[in-house]
A and B are shown apart, each in its own frame.
Chain A
Amino acid sequence: GENVEQHPSTLSVQEGDSAVIKCTYSDSASNYFPWYKQELGKRPQLIIDIRSNVGEKKDQRIAVTLNKTAKHFSLHITETQPEDSAVYFCAASNEVSGGYNKLIFGAGTRLAVHP
């Protein structure tokens, strides 16, 4: 069945360092890959997304890369700050003409940024 694997489960970095989180997906029909940040007790917040027609997307300190052939996509955070500390989830979905199908989430990565 559909599956998204996410690594690592925990990540600890020093402020100013870079952080990389990697995901793989199983469903070849997936064409939409969002990343969510979730702080304790709060809703998942979309931070960046990428569609299968591009290989890379960047938004300030955050970038996402996609390798469709290998079914891999990754989140890169540069110049990390303590406020980046949260749980990050990758997800995959299939966007069709009528909208988005269900999201399949990874298990999450708990990122801790130490001052």
Chain B
Amino acid sequence: DTGVSQDPRHKITKRGQNVTFRCDPISEHNRLYWYRQTLGQGPEFLTYFQNEAQLEKSRLLSDRFSAERPKGSFSTLEIQRTEQGDSAMYLCASSPTSEGGGYTFGSGTRLTVV
């Protein structure tokens, strides 16, 4: 386990379809975060978990987005009825409990809605 893994790396979908992304954090990290990044912008916070509990969800996140971390290990992010504006890079990160660890980001899933 050398880092945060995300799957798939790329996803092209038609408008109106549902998509699901997966994130596998570093195994000893208890917190897991989802961010969205569009071209030329900084990552934007979506939601995060401590173990299986979802601690915060961005007010900017519409009801079409849902995230789960059922066993406190991997997480999924689902987007229902995708829109062209959902096209972005979706980044996952994880962090440990103790000071000194910081966040580690995955390589992201690039979503293109056509």
Nearest residue, chain A, Cβ from B59:
A1
Interface string of B30-61 (1 = CB under 8 A from A): 11010100001111110010100000100000
Q: How large is the interface on A (under 10, 10 to 19, 20 to 34, 35 or more residues)?
A: 20 to 34
The answer to whether A102 and B95 touch across the interface, beta carbons within 8 angstroms, is no
Provide the bound-state CA to CA distance between A107 and B43, in Å.
Answer: 8
> Per a CB cutoff under 8 Å, which of A45, A46, A99, A102 touches B56?
A102
Nearest residue, chain A, Cβ from B4:
A43
Does A103 reach chain B (CB closer than 8 Å)? yes
Residues of B within 8 A of A91 (CB): 42
The answer to whether A34 and B103 touch across the interface, beta carbons within 8 angstroms, is yes
Residues of A within 8 A of B91 (CB): 43-44
| B contact residues, total (Cβ < 8 Å) | 26
Whole-angstrom distance from the CB of B41 to the nearest CB of chain A? 6
Does A42 reach chain B (CB closer than 8 Å)? yes
Does B21 reach chain A (CB closer than 8 Å)? no
Interface residues of A in 43-76 (CB under 8 A from B): 43-46, 49, 51
The answer to whether B48 and A44 touch across the interface, beta carbons within 8 angstroms, is no
Nearest residue, chain B, Cβ from A36:
B105
The answer to whether B56 and A108 touch across the interface, beta carbons within 8 angstroms, is no
Residues of B within 8 A of A89 (CB): 42-43
Provide the bound-state CA to CA distance between A105 and B58, in Å.
Answer: 14
The answer to whether B48 and A105 touch across the interface, beta carbons within 8 angstroms, is no
Nearest residue, chain A, Cβ from B30:
A99
Provide the bound-state CA to CA distance between A39 and B106, in Å.
Answer: 14
Interface residues of A in 83-107 (CB under 8 A from B): 89, 91, 95, 98-107
The answer to whether B40 and A108 touch across the interface, beta carbons within 8 angstroms, is yes
Whole-angstrom distance from the CB of A60 to the nearest CB of chain B? 18
> Per a CB cutoff under 8 Å, which of A42, A46, A106 touches B102?
A46
Residues of A within 8 A of B (CB): 6, 34, 36, 42-46, 49, 51, 89, 91, 95, 98-108
